[in-house]
């Protein structure tokens, strides 16, 4: 096991520069090329949603940790159900600025919008994730690379459909007081995340979705952070012609506990 972890650490350190510089641009170019190809045949579906979310990365040892996550997503801001997402995972710190996660998620999606699903349907998801952190002057940067294996069972179907998806997110934070974000201080946050589907069961929606986000944040304590922001989400449905434009209120609580014996 130690040899495997050592190998992961070495691989991460040697490829980190490449990931920082090349992969984000390639992913973004690929995603937006599919958006451009679909411009002439788009059908737009505008929605107003609210996402109320909790995230936690909890230290168990100096390197190992537990990820916990709950997202309560509502259509019409709060009135109607949209999705329920529960996600968990095991974290491993490859270096002080690089973390690998292997996890599982359960998602339940409800009919919403002008082109709704036939009925509520479930999704089981396994994911692998690499998260890298660095900074440029006062701006903190997080690069998140995620692969997902998804089993979706549409309403009325006898079996699940297997799908693959790759995601890349770049998030930036800027302290409004001083040079770093400390407890009791506000900050600004923004991110963009692109989703690309691949594999045999992907039809016309290779570009899956894009999320652009801006928020005001407040670090409540060393363990807790709150963000209130706006998310602009563009989703290409499986047909390839219907594009959701979701204007979303996003409320996020980040609460990280430390269960190590030396604390």
With bands split at pLDDT 50, 70 and 90, how would you rate the model's confidence at 14?
A: very low
The stretch 68-75 carries a mean pLDDT of: 98
Average the pLDDT over each of 22-31, 54-63, 171-180, 216-225 and give the range with the smallest value: 22-31
List pLDDT tens digits, range 143-156: 999 999 999 998 88
In the chain, the percentage of residues whose pLDDT exceeds 90 is: 76
What confidence score (pLDDT) does residue 9 get?
Answer: 47
Q: What is the mean pLDDT of residues 71-90?
A: 98
CA distance 131 to 149: 18
């269960």: which residue's tokens? 259
- Position 198 pLDDT exceeds 90: yes
| Of the options 3.40.50, 1.10.540, 1.10.15, 2.40.160, the CATH number for the domain spanning 2-255 | 2.40.160
- Please tell me the distance from the alpha carbon of residue 89 to that of residue 102, in angstroms, as a whole number: 5
91-100 pLDDT per residue, tens = 999 999 999 9
Question: Residues 116, 51: contact at Cβ < 8 Å?
Answer: no
């Amino acid at each position: 096991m130690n040899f495997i972890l050592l190998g992961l650490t070495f691989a991460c350190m040697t490829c980190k520069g490449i990931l920082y510089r090349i992969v984000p641009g390639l992913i973004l170019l690929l995603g937006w090329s599919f958006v451009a190809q679909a411009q002439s045949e788009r059908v737009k579906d505008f929605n107003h949603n609210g996402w109320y979310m909790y995230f936690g990365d909890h230290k168990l040892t100096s390197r190992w940790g537990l990820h916990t996550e709950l997202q309560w997503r509502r259509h019409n801001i709060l009135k109607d159900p949209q999705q329920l997402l529960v996600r968990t995972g095991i974290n491993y710190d490859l270096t002080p600025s690089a973390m690998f996660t292997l996890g599982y998620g359960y998602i339940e999606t409800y009919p919403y919008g002008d082109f709704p699903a036939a009925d509520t349907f479930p999704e089981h998801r396994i994911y692998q994730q690499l998260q890298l952190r660095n900074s440029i002057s006062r701006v903190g940067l997080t690069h998140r690379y995620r692969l997902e294996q998804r089993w979706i069972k549409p309403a009325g179907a006898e079996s699940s459909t297997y799908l693959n998806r790759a995601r890349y997110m770049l998030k930036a934070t800027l302290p409004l007081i001083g040079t770093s974000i400390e407890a009791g201080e506000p900050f600004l946050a923004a991110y963009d995340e692109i989703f690309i589907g691949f594999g045999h069961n992907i039809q016309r929606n290779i570009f899956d979705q894009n999320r652009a986000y801006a928020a005001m944040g407040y670090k409540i304590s060393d363990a807790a952070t709150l963000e209130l922001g706006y998310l602009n989400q563009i989703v290409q449905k499986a047909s390839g012609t219907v594009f959701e434009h979701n204007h979303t209120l996003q409320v996020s609580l980040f609460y990280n506990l430390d269960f190590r014996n030396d604390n």
